[in-house]
Structure 1
Amino acid sequence: MNDLSPFAAPHVRPLDPAKFRDPLITAGGEVRAEVAMTRLDTLWINTGTLCNLACRTCYIESSPRNDALVYISLAEAEAYLDEALTLGTREIGFTGGEPFMNPDMLAMLDAALARGFEVLVLTNAMRPMQRFEAQLLALKSDRLTLRVSLDHYSQPIHEAERGLGTWDKAIAGTKWLSDHGFRLAIAGRQLPGETLEDARAGYAALFEAEGLNVDSADPAALVLFPEMDATADVPEITEACWGILGKSPDSIMCASSRMVVKRKGEPRPVVAACTLIPYDPEFTMGETLAEASRPVRLNHPHCARFCVLGGASCSA
């Protein structure tokens, strides 16, 4: 079966070893593009890489055993929430792993909402989330969105990625969120050879059949990630590419977001450039949000695959 994941594994590098070596200059001798931060619109907090699933091609390699990113604590998260308040940040995103594996997840969610942020939680809606149904109902808010990962609108393709028996459990959790009036979004994938229109139509049929209150035509409610082939070579992004592609660096994810991670064995959390590159020390921007506001040099294949050429973003 073809690799259906929208992400590449975090340690995969390009086929051409000459590429993505020098942070300033490309293999062709051109000035590498960089992205300046225009604002911190979204602050992501990685709750840890532990997950109840071991998906076949998880971009961050989450699993029941991978604790490369350890659980961040409430106190550590609150320090970043307070700093984000001073910077005018609009949205806090929680991702993992599975966020509801973290024992402080509900408290961190409450802390973010209490500070007035819009909050987005990425979840598989399975048992780790479902055990907190009563607490979630108490936190339900127009500022809280739960985005559930459904890898496809068909059970076989979803389970090829996430494992046998995962479909019914994910659908049950998703239906519970919808039935109880939560703001609900779905993260899915547009498969190779599938048009965007066909993908949205497939999800629309699923939403109608299951009674899910999700607008398949709304790109913030149904987020479809582009095809990502980890084995395919990708071009390096130069300063000239902005004009050639007709793109603004302000449209790239790292112009308006950062992610807090706590790496195993390190004494405190740090701020990474984006959600896709949590392990690479070159993309560690600092320990505080202020330090992390410096420009990001696009010296990683994900910068081309996902953001510049893929046109995708983890936030809505």
Structure 2
Amino acid sequence: MQEPPLDQMTRALDPAKFQNPLVTAKGETRATVALTTLETLWFNTGTLCNLTCRNCYIESSPRNDRLDWLTVTDVVRYLDEIARDSLPTRLIGFTGGEPFINPDIIAMLEAVLSRGFDTLVLTNAMKPLRKLRAPLLALRDRYGDRLTLRVSLDHYDPAIHEQERGRRSWLPALDGLLWLARNGFRLDVAGRRYTGETERSLRDGFARLFAEHGIPVDAHDPVRLMLFPEMEPDRDVPEITTACWGILHKSPEDVMCASARMVVKRKAAAAPVVLACTLLAYDPRFEMGRTLAEASRPVSLNHPFCASFCVLGGASCSR
């Protein structure tokens, strides 16, 4: 575990790593994470997006439909399982792609909110959201702060944001964020750490941006402004062993898969499946079954993202 900081790792991933779910390339026992309680259930609404970002972990774009649209019927089936089995789920999250492209998104949000769940939607706040302003206002009126929208602004500097998101992406995103703020929606913001700045510098920069535009987000609150580490599956990172918990002074319960699962529907699939994590949509090793009950078994930390994002990066998509 004597590895350099993640932002200094540029060498290619050792092909012997992350192969065996039980042991590492060095023959050490690989760490696993048990599901202690299903606090958060994520739904990936589909991989289609209005943007093609430079480094999207799920490769979303206007053409990528590897993950099909979920329907409100799909979502309700899992809500029914939560109710039937009295699961302790408190938060339902929606991610993509861009969730507001999915034609059932408003119906899905209504289904979740009407059952009393806190609800989080990850969005770029651009044109797809703008088309749904009226029904979103209606949801706000009925459910208030139980609905949170987390808007992706990769950096407080427009030029750096557009290096990732593409030309002419900054102003539409800021416009969407401002509309949500001025209309009383509960807001979070998601940024990225790819510039090499200190976390304090990043948070101070976002604080200036929010103050300039009257955006009611505390940039120094790690939940209201989440700063995510970069995820590059081909970059070399250390494998996480059982010994790492003590070395890093972490607990398996700190890792996202101890309290969350994600539902996806693969293109042309008959039904959705449950995955261990929001980050591993395409890796069949992390497909855990069609029901939440089937997906309750432990997860082997057998992917570079397990190290770079969750264990060493200390990040979580939930709040």
Q: Please indicate the TM-score interval, normalised by the length of the shorter structure.
A: over 0.9
**Alignment size in residue pairs:** 305
Q: Which residue of 2 aligns with 1:132?
A: 132
Amino acid at match of 1:247: K
Q: Which residue of 2 aligns with 1:163?
A: 166
Q: Which residue of 2 aligns with 1:220?
A: 223
> Residue 148 of structure 1 aligns to a residue in which SS?
strand
Q: Any residues of structure 2 matched to 1:257-268 within 5 Å, and which?
A: 257-268=260-271
TM-score, normalised with respect to structure 2: 0.93
Q: Which residue of 2 aligns with 1:173?
A: 176
Q: Which residue of 1 aligns with 2:185?
A: 182
Q: Which residue of 2 aligns with 1:3?
A: none
Q: Any residues of structure 2 matched to 1:78-157 within 5 Å, and which?
A: 78-85=76-83, 86-140=86-140, 141-157=144-160
Q: Which residue of 2 aligns with 1:205?
A: 208
Separation (CA, whole Å) in 1 of partners of 2:216 and 2:93: 21
Q: Any residues of structure 2 matched to 1:230-309 within 5 Å, and which?
A: 230-309=233-312
> Residue 210 of structure 2 aligns to a residue in which SS?
helix
Q: Structure 2: state its 5+ residue gaps.
A: 1-6
Separation (CA, whole Å) in 1 of partners of 2:293 and 2:231: 32
Whether contact under 8 Å (2:231, 2:305) holds in the other structure is: no
Whether contact under 8 Å (1:43, 1:84) holds in the other structure is: no
Identity percentage of aligned residues:
64
> Residue 157 of structure 1 aligns to a residue in which SS?
helix
Whether contact under 8 Å (2:245, 2:252) holds in the other structure is: yes
Q: Which residue of 1 aligns with 2:4?
A: none
Q: Which residue of 2 aligns with 1:20?
A: 18
Q: Which moved more, 1:24-33 or 1:191-200?
A: 191-200
TM-score, normalised with respect to structure 1: 0.94
In the TM superposition, residue 229 of structure 1 has moved relative to its aligned partner by 4.8
In the TM superposition, residue 192 of structure 1 has moved relative to its aligned partner by 3.8
CA-based RMSD of the aligned residues comes to: 1.4
In the TM superposition, residue 269 of structure 1 has moved relative to its aligned partner by 0.1
Separation (CA, whole Å) in 2 of partners of 1:287 and 1:265: 15
Separation (CA, whole Å) in 2 of partners of 1:14 and 1:45: 32
Q: Could you list the per-position Cα deviations for residues 27-83 of structure 1 after superposition, in whole angstroms to 9, with x for gaps in the alignment?
A: 111111100000011100000000011111111000000000000111011111222
Separation (CA, whole Å) in 2 of partners of 1:127 and 1:192: 27
> Residue 310 of structure 1 aligns to a residue in which SS?
coil
In the TM superposition, residue 231 of structure 1 has moved relative to its aligned partner by 4.5
Q: Which residue of 2 aligns with 1:9?
A: none
Separation (CA, whole Å) in 2 of partners of 1:171 and 1:192: 20
Q: Could you list the per-position Cα deviations for residues 182-213 of structure 1 after superposition, in whole angstroms to 9, with x for gaps in the alignment?
A: 00010001234311111000000100111111
1:312/1:184 Cα in 2 relative to 1: closer, same or farther (>3 Å)?
Answer: same
> Residue 203 of structure 2 aligns to a residue in which SS?
helix
Q: Which residue of 2 aligns with 1:32?
A: 30
Amino acid at match of 1:240: A
Q: Could you list the per-position Cα deviations for residues 219-242 of structure 1 after superposition, in whole angstroms to 9, with x for gaps in the alignment?
A: 111111124455431111111111
In the TM superposition, residue 142 of structure 1 has moved relative to its aligned partner by 1.4
In the TM superposition, residue 127 of structure 1 has moved relative to its aligned partner by 0.6
Displacement over 6 Å in runs of 4+: none
> Residue 243 of structure 1 aligns to a residue in which SS?
helix
Whether contact under 8 Å (2:233, 2:304) holds in the other structure is: no
Q: Which moved more, 1:269-278 or 1:23-32?
A: 23-32
